[in-house]
């Protein structure tokens, strides 16, 4: 039997209310040498559940290659430049193409990837602090005075995923170099012990 005939049998089992395991068992019993695999049956069941009832070869067997055109690449590029926080499914819905194709165009043709635009300060854990303490002389803590400043914000920041943006490799280098200019909601200053006690010569 060819592939299309097996698809018809899978569709028959689907319409009869059989699940994928029952369908696979029945096909293996009737066609032990040529029965389709479990993943193939699951794929066709998923299509039938989406009301894609046709068993013919077509767009449902994979994204059409003609979707990756110069026109679509340019449209996606312009959309991203206008709003770098666009989601893949939003672009796909606008252009009426598969999300997987949008992802492919953005990464393979535009060379862009999504990065978080928000820097979140964090304190070191105990395990992270210990190696730093062990690397220094025992008296180094006496030479520092630590003061804390806390800024309280009245808004809830966006999540990591919400604040991510699509960037190209050239823009990434600029963002990494700009780290020192980012304000954080708290900071710690360390002053030499001698400065506090007026012992600097």
pLDDT of residue 76: 92
**Using a CB cutoff of 8 Å and minimum separation of 24, what contacts does 41-46 make?**
41/10, 44/7, 44/10, 44/11, 44/14, 45/10, 45/14, 45/20
Here the tokens at position 87 are 């989601």
Any domain includes 174: yes
Note the pTM of the prediction, 2 decimals: 0.37
Any domain includes 120: no
183 shares a domain with 131 = yes
What residues make up the domain containing 158? Answer: 126-197
94 shares a domain with 149 = no
pLDDT of residue 189: 46
Mark which of 19, 35, 61 sits at the end of a domain.
61
Here the tokens at position 125 are 């854990």
Any domain includes 121: no
pLDDT of residue 74: 92
pLDDT of residue 100: 84
pLDDT of residue 146: 58
pLDDT of residue 111: 83
CA 170 – CA 80 distance, rounded (Å): 15
pLDDT of residue 185: 42
pLDDT of residue 141: 64
Any domain includes 118: no
- Positions of the chain with pLDDT lower than 70, given as ranges: 1, 57-65, 116-124, 139-201
* Region at 188 (left for phi over 0; alpha for psi -120 to 50; beta for the rest): beta
């Amino acid at each position: 039997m060819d592939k299309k005939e097996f698809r018809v049998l899978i569709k028959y089992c689907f319409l009869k209310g059989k699940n994928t395991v029952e369908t696979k068992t029945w096909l293996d019993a009737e066609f032990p040498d040529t029965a389709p695999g479990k993943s193939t049956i699951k794929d066709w069941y998923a299509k039938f559940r989406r009301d894609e009832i046709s068993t013919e070869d077509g767009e449902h067997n994979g994204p059409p290659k003609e979707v990756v055109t110069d026109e679509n690449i340019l449209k996606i590029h312009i959309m991203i430049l206008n709003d770098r926080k666009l989601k893949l499914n939003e672009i796909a819905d606008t252009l009426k193409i598969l999300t997987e194709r949008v992802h492919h165009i953005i990464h393979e043709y535009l060379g862009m990837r999504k990065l978080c635009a928000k820097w979140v300060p964090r304190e070191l854990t105990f395990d992270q602090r210990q190696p730093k303490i062990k690397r220094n002389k025992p008296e180094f803590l006496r030479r520092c005075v630590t003061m804390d400043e806390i800024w309280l914000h009245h808004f809830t920041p966006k999540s990591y995923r919400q604040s991510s943006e699509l960037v190209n490799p050239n823009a990434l280098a600029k963002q990494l170099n700009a780290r020192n200019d980012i304000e954080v909601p708290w900071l710690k200053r360390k002053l030499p012990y001698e400065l506090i006690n007026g012992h600097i010569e």
